[in-house]
Structure 1
Amino acid sequence: MFFTILMVLGIQVVLPAVFLITLWRADFKSRWEWMVEAGVTVFLSAWLFQAGNWSWIGYYFRYLLVVLLIVALIRSWMKVRELPSKVASDEKRKLSMGVSIFLLVIFGAYNVFTVAGYSTSEPALELTFPLNEGTYYIGHGGNSRLLNYHKSHEPQQFALDILKVNAFGIRAKGLYPKKLENYYIFEDDLFSPCTGTVTEIENSLPDLTPPEADPDNATGNYVALTCEDSDAIVYLAHMKKGSVTVDLDEIVEVGQKIGKVGNSGNTSEPHLHIHAEKDGIGIPIRFDGKFLLRNQLVR
């Protein structure tokens, strides 16, 4: 848990801060050097803005990153605008420029792969969003591994992990609390995303204390539905023990309560996992016509 917290803070706070401070304070000898370093900082910031999990430190904190980037770009450009386009470089500067160009390519590629995950050409199953008690944050979602780790698992390749955030865009009281009630989504009511038939249920598995997980029962407590006019199966997973309110083979209406969000199964913290699959292969899902992505909010 401690390592996870350090990793999030390191990647999303410390790393961009280092590049922003470097851009602000570096002693550039030419505009070319500045352009390369500025490009690296812009690409890094753009990638983190899109693909970072901002529910840990606050969804709106990522806009502060944009403001600081603009300030650093303007401030540093004012220092270098009168410099020559290029100058002869010694071996040390050549090595530094080589590293910067390498990072420019890497972070540029990250942005390309991230943007490529914004949409899909595959037909999608239209659903109604299954939560309605506040503001919800898409923790994983999209058509790229950089936005959605589920992309690596074919049956769940278009799955969403959904959290709830407060007015500051934070998902819990504390960085990684052990008390389930400190996660804002815990025990929120879950509603059927479509009219259909209940094909599978599990309702007896325990809710776990973060970061405990149960990989042997990956979905935890869950409800599986076959929506009308579709042969795809929709899974809503990690539900609260004993909260499932529907029965096997029951026909449910869209918007009907089916249970509560919990923390059962192979889960790191309370959240809703939802995905649809057909013949064992994950298919895209849309909510009110929207293909939801990491870092989007649903109110």
Structure 2
Amino acid sequence: MRRINMKKYFFGLLCAIIVTCIVCIYCVGGQVGAYAWNIAVFIFSPVAIFLILVQIIILIVSLCKGKKVAWNIAFIAISIVFTLPITVLLGVSPITYPTNATTNDSISVKMPIENAVIFGGNEYKIHAMWPSECYAYDILKEPYNVESLNVHDYGIFGEDIISPVKGRVIGIENNEQDIIPNTEEFTSSLGNYIFIEIEETNTYLILAHLMQDSIGVLVGEYIDEGEVIGKVGNSGTTSEPHLHIQHQRNNPLEMKFPVCSEGLPITFKK
């Protein structure tokens, strides 16, 4: 009887954890939702896979001994729910992080590249799976997606980047080498970047994958909207030359786990 009660308590605990995560992600949102999402992806999913393997072994043993296996099947079923977030890491997630920020969190910025094409929003799976990037955009220019190994075959490589906003530069990286397109020889995820503090909203803008040695601003410098600040490159985790632009509530210099940052909406001025 005690063993059955323990199974009931453990099963109830798993259900409570699932409900709590869902509430935090889809109802509470914000920083709480971002942390809950990443805990589900990086902690709960691996633990659930381990539990499934253990329960399968117990199930087989129980069947061989002629014991009831209803609770084992229930544990396996609920553990499978916990494994769904692991698909985010595999890049095949059927779910995306909910974009539930308010319009008050949105900023309107100047397009940093002239005559460019943008990809982003909740339909763009590469970004939409993460709280920090769920509103981010990748900016390209014709020709793109040409599957060439030469960066100069891509229209946006070497294009001037103008500052989308007025703000203060709080961080830069300018020394990472541009990689060959469609390879994975990167050193960091962002590559060369510029972090801009938008003092008016107390939020932050990230521009990433810039060309090596192209950044023309310094940390602490105040920049104006429309000012040339660098060139588009192919540094970091990028399949081809493009500019990544991301708006978030958290100071990127203070986030130990960048994927837990709270992404915020961004629109482009016409």
What TM-score results when the alignment is normalised by the length of structure 2?
0.56
Contact 1:207 1:241 in 2 (8 A): yes
Residue from 117, 134, 145 that aligns with 1:137: 117
- Code of the aligned partner of 1:137: V
Moved runs in structure 1, 4+ residues, more than 4 A?
none
User: How far is the alpha carbon of 1:164 from its aligned partner?
Assistant: 0.1
Change beyond 3 A, Cα 1:253–1:157:
same
- Code of the aligned partner of 1:192: S
| Equivalent in the alignment of 2:127 | 150
User: How far is the alpha carbon of 1:122 from its aligned partner?
Assistant: 3.6
User: How far is the alpha carbon of 1:186 from its aligned partner?
Assistant: 0.2
Contact 2:178 2:234 in 1 (8 A): yes
* Distance in 1 between residues matched to 2:220 and 2:214, nearest whole Å: 17
User: How far is the alpha carbon of 1:155 from its aligned partner?
Assistant: 1.1
Structure 2: which 5+ residue stretches go unaligned?
1-94, 251-260
1:90-101 → structure 2 map (5 Å cutoff) = none
Residue from 98, 108, 128 that aligns with 2:110: 128
* Distance in 1 between residues matched to 2:235 and 2:218, nearest whole Å: 19
> 3-state DSSP class of the match of 1:282?
coil
Structure 1: which 5+ residue stretches go unaligned?
1-112, 290-299
1:185-217 deviation line (CA, Å, top 9, x unaligned): 000000111111001100000000011235651
Q: Share of identical aligned residues, percent?
A: 34
User: How far is the alpha carbon of 1:171 from its aligned partner?
Assistant: 2.0
| Equivalent in the alignment of 1:171 | 144
- Code of the aligned partner of 1:285: I
- Code of the aligned partner of 2:263: G
> 3-state DSSP class of the match of 1:265?
coil
* Distance in 2 between residues matched to 1:205 and 1:270, nearest whole Å: 14
1:25-174 → structure 2 map (5 Å cutoff) = 121-123=102-104, 124-132=106-114, 135-138=115-118, 140-142=119-121, 144=122, 146-165=123-142, 170-171=143-144
* Distance in 2 between residues matched to 1:216 and 1:242, nearest whole Å: 15
Contact 2:101 2:264 in 1 (8 A): no
* Distance in 2 between residues matched to 1:212 and 1:248, nearest whole Å: 30
Contact 1:221 1:264 in 2 (8 A): yes
| Equivalent in the alignment of 2:193 | 222
* Distance in 2 between residues matched to 1:285 and 1:213, nearest whole Å: 29
Q: How many residues align?
A: 164
> 3-state DSSP class of the match of 2:128?
helix
